């Protein structure tokens, strides 16, 4: 995030009233007091201005600000959970008449929900929502024997 980016703001008290604003500043370092319960989460204090003077706002109201970081157009996206890592490769599984077909994919931008697919999957193809699990079974003999089985949910 950076100053000047547009923001859409809603309050918990009035979720149907949308306000607009922009980022004024973003702290250069994470807030150490807010990350002690979840050390993997970094919270950067961000100030956002609100356009106009909405009469329903009161001090102490909780609000949510959504900041558009990047907008992608004409790209192929899939839910993040459909991309699996197999032997250091990113793959998706396409549903075919013969069963799941593994496809190596190249990804780009992503968020918590979607990932952009640059190559490997075309618009309109049926992608399995839950990738098949890979089960490795080792034999008891000294020479290791590995069997890979695909099990869908």
Q: Is the dihedral of CA 70, 28, 21, 13 positive or negative?
A: positive
Q: Is the dihedral of CA 107, 104, 97, 147 positive or negative?
A: negative
Q: Does 147 have pLDDT greater than 80?
A: no
Q: Does 153 have pLDDT greater than 70?
A: no
Write down the mean pLDDT value for the chain: 80
Architecture, CATH, for domain 76-151: Beta Barrel (2.40)
Q: What pLDDT, in 10s, does the model give residues 16-26?
A: 999 999 999 99
Q: Is the pTM of this model over 0.75?
A: no
CA 124 to chain centre: 21
Residues in the chain: 153
Cβ–Cβ < 8 Å for 80, 113: yes
So where are the chain's domains? 6-67, 76-151
Q: What is the mean pLDDT of residues 100-118?
A: 90
């Amino acid at each position: 995030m950076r100053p000047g980016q547009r923001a859409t703001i809603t309050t918990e008290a009035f979720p149907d009233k949308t306000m607009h604003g922009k980022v004024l500043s973003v702290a250069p370092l994470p807030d150490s007091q807010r990350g002690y319960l979840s050390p993997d989460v970094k919270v950067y204090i961000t100030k956002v201005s609100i356009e106009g003077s909405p009469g329903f706002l009161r001090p102490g109201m909780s609000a949510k600000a959504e900041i558009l970081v990047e907008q992608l157009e004409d790209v192929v996206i899939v839910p993040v959970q459909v991309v699996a890592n197999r032997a250091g490769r990113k793959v998706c599984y396409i549903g075919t008449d013969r069963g799941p077909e593994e496809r190596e994919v190249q990804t780009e931008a992503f968020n918590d929900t979607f990932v952009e697919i640059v190559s490997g999957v075309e618009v309109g193809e049926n992608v399995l929502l839950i990738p098949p699990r890979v089960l490795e079974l080792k034999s008891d003999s000294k020479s290791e024997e590995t069997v890979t089985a695909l099990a869908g949910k």
